[in-house]
A and B are shown apart, each in its own frame.
Chain A
């Protein structure tokens, strides 16, 4: 356990650089920023209060899915998670790590958890800010926790995918962006049956499961969830399985392949 925690701690110090963190925090906060602009623009609206609330709710859902879950969370996680292994390779520190009497699974699991925690610090702050602004506008903060849980699970699922990618590919960020925009925002978003293979949909299903019942009053469920059902428990199980598979895969390639240089 000490080795597991030590790897996470050193991974933080290696990858969480100030300028990168500020840039990613801005990206993570893009949904909150855009919602703030919407709040300012709609302040002097002559529409009825009920109509304004409906627009505020629609904007909230649109930004949650279109900006936060489709762009900010995957891209922030991509950059952090690929560097968790990529920086070890760039700095030639992989040999330091693997020539120790610790199981390869421990290394893989620590790296996946480190990527998740580090990315979630950034995506979680952006999501919390977004949730609070939404709460101010629609006059209820009951969505803040569901949003944060959804972001946490999506971040964890993306971390599980991008950590091995960062180890295997030198152009992992480019390949990851292609994955985010072609698969996540294109194919998996268009085909409801593929929803269970899409981390952002898994995150949204957790948010929907925890949110008050009016979450889907304005948003068609198949648009937000595809073939998934709302529920945080199922989403959590899926993400934990994905993280375990990722650590096992890392363990396998560290045992079977020459060390990546």
Chain B
């Protein structure tokens, strides 16, 4: 039984002490984790090293140090292994002059399928692009382009699916459909690795998360455990009102939840570990002092700040 939450018991993809640097820049630093059947979310802010790690998983990029094994072999060492891998890159990666059907059929041909046209039709149906199969992908919206790439990655029914920000540019309906598709694939024993910088997006897909920040493994395992680890992160809140000094003084005097206050013109910048208590206190003090509130908003709810906090706390 594996104890390290970054590792799984029956891995199909194993990452051991992997680092990657480009000149002086370290993109990934000593990451050890593994992926098995089911869906794993690879979380992290933009520039965290997710794409570099995914490219190393597929063999597009070679690690500077460490080792990546896909079903026990280095992905580049045996090209036959690519029969087991489907990859959706973050960037466009489309032949704009081809129709969606030709593009997916091309993927099927290169994978050695006996009937590329039929396989392409099935894959396009899976991502609900049948009606647009005859159109050139160069004229597609971003969401349609994403779905075309997903179809090309799925056309040979791979055991391992690596998806780099696959929901970017998709509308809510398409997003829901793709999330269900990925969940179905993982339920059927596929190893599905999905990167995203949006926590809520990953939460809808899976419980298992690997979080990367600044190229390092920041957290791994059950998403609720990561949520708990985030609970003592101070929130930053901006309050706009007509009497900022009076309100700030009252909040500092009468509220333990406020850990710091900074005033600039009509704005108060507050830090708190208890957002709900702060909201109540601001409303109460504003009423008591007859302060007119025009805005109360969290300043920094980004995943980046959350993960930086996690890394900083180590």
Contact = CB atoms under 8 A, between A and B. Distances in A.
A253 B97 CA distance: 27
Nearest to A9: B106
B111 A91 contact: no
A100 B104 CA distance: 13
A156 B82 CA distance: 31
A67 to B, nearest CB: 32
A46 B61 CA distance: 70
A9 to B, nearest CB: 9
Interface stretch (B2-10, B85-93, B217-225): B85-93
B139 to A, nearest CB: 15
Nearest to A97: B110
B106 A95 contact: no
Interface stretch (B36-44, B73-81, B165-173, B235-243): B73-81
Contact of A103 (B79, B97, B98, B111): B79
B96 interface: yes
Interface string A190-227: 00000000000000000000000000000000000000
A13 B91 CA distance: 20
Interface string A87-123: 0000111011111111110000000000000000000
Given A91-B93, A101-B79, A3 B110 contact: yes
B152 A3 contact: no
B93 A93 contact: yes
Contact of A13 (B59, B93, B95): B95
B83 A101 contact: yes
B32 interface: no
Given A99-B82, A101-B81, A258-B61, A14 B95 contact: yes
B149 to A, nearest CB: 8
A2 B109 CA distance: 7
Nearest to A98: B60
Contacts of A255: 76
A11 to B, nearest CB: 10
Contacts of A95: 55, 58, 60, 87, 89, 93
A259 interface: yes
Nearest to A254: B76
A91 B92 contact: yes
B30 to A, nearest CB: 19
Contacts of B279: none
Q: How large is the interface on B (under 10, 10 to 19, 20 to 34, 35 or more residues)?
A: 20 to 34
Main SS of chain A's interface residues? helix
Contacts of A259: 55, 60-61
A10 interface: yes
A102 B78 CA distance: 10
B98 to A, nearest CB: 6
B94 interface: yes
A169 interface: no
Nearest to B91: A92
B107 interface: yes
B111 A100 contact: yes
B216 to A, nearest CB: 21
Contacts of A2: 109, 112
Q: How large is the interface on A (under 10, 10 to 19, 20 to 34, 35 or more residues)?
A: 20 to 34
B285 to A, nearest CB: 54
Contacts of B80: 101
Contacts of A14: 95, 97
Contacts of B111: 100-101
A6 interface: yes
B209 interface: no
Contacts of A92: 89, 91-93
A47 B78 CA distance: 71
Given A92-B91, A95-B93, A13 B61 contact: no
B62 interface: yes
Interface string A63-92: 000000000000000000000000000011
A213 to B, nearest CB: 48
A10 B98 CA distance: 8
B62 A258 contact: yes
Contacts of B87: 95, 99
Most buried by B among A3, A92, A96, A98: A96
A99 B61 CA distance: 12
21 contacts: A7-B110, A10-B106, A13-B95, A13-B98, A14-B95, A91-B96, A92-B92, A92-B93, A93-B95, A96-B107, A97-B110, A99-B58, A99-B82, A100-B107, A101-B80, A101-B82, A101-B83, A101-B110, A104-B79, A255-B76, A258-B60
Interface of A: 2-3, 6-7, 10, 13-14, 91-93, 95-104, 255, 257-259
Interface of B: 55, 58-62, 76, 79-83, 85, 87, 89, 91-98, 106-107, 109-112, 152
Given A91-B93, A100-B79, A101-B82, 8 more contacts: A3-B109, A13-B98, A91-B95, A93-B94, A95-B89, A96-B107, A100-B82, A259-B60
